[in-house]
Amino acid sequence: MTAAVASWLPLSAGERSVAIEVLVGGPLSRTELARRLDLSAGSLTRLTKPLIESGLLVEVPEAEGPAEVRQGRPSQPLDVVPESRSFIGFKVTDDMVYGVVTTLRSDIVARLDRPLTTHDPAGVADLLAAMARELAGGFPRLAGIGIGVGGRVQDRAVVAESPFLGWRDIPLAALVEERTGLPVVVENDVAALTEAETWFGSGRGLDRFVVLTIGAGLGYSLVLGGKRVPSEEEDRGFGRHWIIDPHGPLTPDGQRGSAVSLLTIPNIRYQVQAATGRERSYAEILRLADAGEPMAARVVREAGRALGILVAQIANFAMPQRILLAGEGVGLMDVAGDTVAETIRGHRHPLAAPIDLETRVSDFHDWARGAAVLAIQVLVLGAAEA
């Protein structure tokens, strides 16, 4: 594959601030941009000039407005050209790779999924490279690749530990770079999803924001001051030691009565199988619970109670403006939503403000999009600590 890396120059801290503000909030007039960044007109001109010359920012026609608003010398707002560069994002699970191509503003314009038949690092890298080549056929102006993996990632390049893949210290970024010729950034999948939601989704413009995911595992990520807070716990299996009910179920994953034991899909399935002797899918368990089947209903009700306690405690301590609940396990809310809401009320002060809990029925393409946003942040904007 021939790399078609964006030719934008490395950005200074000031230029990066301007570029991010326009990317996330544009189109913006120079007056509004200077106000948001607390810059003088001269400083803004100095910072925007190289961004315009390099093609990262462009002047766009002023939107029509009331005559009194448009008095004086016309001003051409600044914006990015979303289609000027494309980015590949991958979400790697234990048995599938989900791929997307996004614009500079993270809009998904193509999808490609493939089964993952090996966990051998070289084999996984070969598959990612083959998928990248297939995706690149329709998008020649690719600027980079982002990869999201469940587990602990170091320096946005090395998968230090991934229990789903059985990996330790795998230089995944280097393996994929040498096969594609494109720059690659690797990150924990929940962290990548949070970055995407902070810039372009539910957390946009919020000072305090939480992403909580339920599925094969639990994920938690906290945004303060508009920036994600890096955490070792974020990458090491959130919830295994957060005890919801010390007398709760003992499952293969997580301590007795932990959030993981009560809430994750594998452990919910394990509880039902251990009690009934029958193996059920997660969707079947939810349907049975909704129909009133006693064992499924009990397990799902306890999961709903666990989720309510978890959300309430997060709200009590982190005080977020919004909590986004996402992941392949959010169907729990359709069946146990009332239990979740009742439990939240029971674990919050009566006068506490209601929690803005947004439930997102998402698929793995949303997670892949998050990885593409990491590529936008790191590879284009140089936001190494984004």
Q: Residue 316 domain-assigned?
A: yes
Residue 178's pLDDT is what? 96
346 and 324 within one domain:
yes
Residue range of the domain that includes 369? 83-195+365-380
Amino acid letter for position 100:
V
In a domain, 6, yes or no: no
Does residue 74 share a domain with residue 87? no
Please give the Cα distance from 326 to 205 (Å, whole number).
19
By the 8 A CB rule, do 21 and 33 touch?
yes
Strands 322-326 and 227-228 come out as: unpaired
Query: End-to-end CA distance of the chain, in Å?
Result: 28
Q: Which residues of the chain have pLDDT under 50?
A: 2-6, 65-70, 72-73, 384-386
Domain contains 311: yes
Same domain, 236 and 249: yes
Supply the pLDDT for residue 386.
Answer: 42
In a domain, 231, yes or no: yes
The packing angle between helices 13-25 and 189-200, to 10°, is 70
Domain finish residue from 58, 80, 102: 80
Last residue of a domain, one of 34, 54, 80: 80
**pLDDT the model gives residue 82:** 85
| CATH number of the domain that residue 265 is part of | 3.30.420.40
Give CA–CA dist 240/258, Å, rounded. 6
Tokens of 135: 């995706």
Instruction: Looking at the structure, tell me whether residues 212 and 352 fall in a common domain.
Output: yes
Same domain, residue pair 283 and 173: no
- Based on the fold, state whether residues 149 and 228 are members of the same structural domain: no
**Are 217 and 343 contained in the same domain?**
yes
Question: Which among 80, 102, 137 is the end of a domain?
Answer: 80
Does residue 93 share a domain with residue 28?
no
Phi, then psi, of 76 in degrees rounded to 5? -95, 115
124 in the same domain as 254: no
Q: How many domains does the chain have?
A: 3
Tens-place pLDDT, residues 122-170: 999 999 999 999 999 888 788 899 999 988 999 999 999 998 899 999 9
Contact 343, 304 (CB under 8 A): yes
CA 214 – CA 308 distance, rounded (Å) = 13
Establish if 385 belongs to a structural domain.
no
Q: Do the domain assignments include residue 1? A: no
Phi (first) and psi of residue 210, to 5 degrees: -130, 140
2 located within any domain: no
Q: Are residues 335 and 216 in the same domain?
A: yes
Distance CA 45, CA 237 (A): 46
pLDDT at 72: 46
pLDDT in the model for residue 241: 83
Report helix, strand or coil for 50: helix
In a domain, 4, yes or no: no
Same domain, 217 and 347: yes
Q: Is 214 in the same domain as 352?
A: yes
Q: 154 is written with which tokens? A: 């170091």
Strand, helix or coil at 154?
strand
